[in-house]
Structures are given as C-alpha cells and as structure tokens.
Structure 1
Amino acid sequence: MNITPKARVAIVVALATALLTGCSAAAPDASGSTAPTSAASATSVAQTRPESRTVTVDEVLDPMTFVVTPTKTTDALYGTKFTLHLVDFNTAVKGECGYDETLALAKKTVSTHTWIINYAVVKDGVWIDEKGDHYGMLDSSGAVYEQTMMKSGFAYLTAANADNYLLNPQREAKNAGSGLWTTCPGFGA
C-alpha cells in the first residue's frame, strides 16, 4: 500500500483530533473510579431548571463531587446513576492541607442521609451538561451538606459568593477556629 505524504498527515491529524477530543475509553483514576469528573460545559441539556430529585450517594469522588443514584424511577429522567458536582462553595482539593480530613467528613456526612439535589442555586444555567453530569447542592430533611461542611470549618465561600446564605456559618466557624481555619494556614484565602 502506497500512502502519500499528504494522506499520512491527514491520518495523523485525524488520530490526534480523536485522542484530544476524548474518544478513548475512560481510564480509572487513582481511586479506581471511572465516573466523569469534567467541569461544566457552556450549555445545559436541561432547557429549564430540573425539579429536585431524591438520590443516594454511591461514591464520594472528592468533597465536591459524588456519584449518585435516584431513589425513584420517576427521578431517573437523566440517568439511573450520574455524577453530581456541588456549586456555590469550596473545599480543600487533593494535595492541599486538610484534604484527607475534608474527604473523611464528606464521606461520613453523605452516608447518613438520603439527599435531595437542589438545582435552584445554579447561577450559569448549566444544571445538567452534555455528559449527563448534574450541578447543584445537597439538601436533606434537616440537614444540608454544605452547611455541615461550612459549620465544621471544612468549606468556605469565595468573594463572589459574599451574599450567600452560608456566610454566617462560615464566619462562625472561622471565628471559633473550627476545622481547617486553625490547622491550615491560608485556608479560604
């Protein structure tokens, strides 16, 4: 078979494009999970804000990302298992001071409740992206994941969220020296 130099270049470009756009199979991450963990895309597959849905947390990928399963078949409109990215606050990320403690609290907190995804807090209109990942917050009867993390001193708000309902729990935790506010210099900066 005789392939011209022009055809070789076209083949190489096509293969490179396929690899760069993610056409290869997902490889497990360090925890062995193959769940999607990408950031939100510019558009949402949901044209209007989805109604809240009740879920159980199957896996904690990090303190801000979970693999969840709807508890009712009627809630499974966008999939029977999907990734939920929390919005509106921050936690320590892998490699930062306090990450392991934050991850442990996240796992402990979500294991004790059935949760409701609240999509109302999403500001950019991306509730569910093209990959099927969801964006929102976790609520439960009497428990809000974000408030638990904030009150314990393991989460913080950015300056952009200064008017957020989590501001008082953050201020109280910071003033009390709770959690990472004392043990991790620069936490929340």
Structure 2
Amino acid sequence: MHTAARRADAAHRDSNAAFLDQFIRDALGTTHRLHSAQTYLRVLAGAGIERLPSAGTVQRAITRARGGAATVTGDPADVRMQPAAQFTLAQHVARVMALLSPDGSGLQAIGQGGEPPFDAADAYRQLQRLEDENRALRVRAEELTAMLMAARVALAEALGHHGARGEGMPGAAVARHTNSRRGTGKKS
C-alpha cells in the first residue's frame, strides 16, 4: 500500500481528491477491501507522503470509492456497461424495486419480457435515491431511539423523585393533617 500511496502522490501533485481517489482505488485493488480513514492516514504517513489530508477528506474519498466509478467522476452518464451486464443489472434492480415497493406495484416488473432497453444512468439515479432514503430513515431511527432513551431516563428520574418523598401523593399530608384535627374537636 505504501507503493500505491507514492505512485498516487507522484501522479496527482495538484489535486488531493484525485490523489486520494487513485490511492484508495489502488489500495482496494491490493487488499480487496476498504479501510478506515485513520488506517489510510497511517499508511500515507508511513509511506513518507508529506501532504496528509484531513480525516474528513479521506472519508469523502472512501465514500466516493464505495460508490464506484460513477461517483468518482460524479457523472452517472459515464457509467458504461456491456449489454449482457446491463440486462443482468436490470433484472437485479427490478427485483430490488419490486421488493422495496410499498404498494406491490413493482412486482409486475419481475419476469416481464420485451422490456425497454436498460438505462444504466437511470438505474444509478434510482439506486442513489433509495440509498439516500435509507440513510435518512436510519438517521431518523437513531434520533427516535435517542429520544426514547431520554424519555426513559426522565421517567425514571420522575418516578425516583416521587418515591423519595416517602409519603406518596402530595395530598396525603393534607389528609393526615385534617384527620388529626378531627380528634381534637377544633374547627378548621
């Protein structure tokens, strides 16, 4: 991976994004997996690379690498596939869309013959939209989980303070006081 870092540094002196994209792509080709931003920063430092980008910049490059070639260029129209691969991808995307369709309308897409030609750029846009929706739903679920935990803590504290009085309901002291006056014969 040190060689990949030095090669990318030499090839892209003027662009950190291009440098990181090539380095991560080459490292992925060597290790067959993506690593954390901190790991890549340690490798760059170990390779003697003088310019060390921030962890956020490296993380953005990792995100681009996860997205594949279309995300690296930023243009979904650049996605080029062989017709057989397009057809296979179209079948898989159709199945995924059918499974994700809330009203079942996507089920008709499975197994239909005579479909229009596959548009890889459109499929990529749909996939990106679904991934964005999925990310937003996960963030919302985490927010709701945090709110639930905060509510549980607040409820536990409220119940704990209530039990600390030792007398139960706030009106219990008034009732005891009223009952004790009855025994003395005094009017209140």
Point out which structure has higher relative CO (alpha carbons under 8 A, 6+ apart): 1
Report TM bin, short chain: under 0.3
TM-score (norm 1): 0.20
Greater per-residue helix proportion: 2
TM-score (norm 2): 0.20
User: Between Structure 1 and Structure 2, whose CA radius of gyration is higher?
Assistant: 2
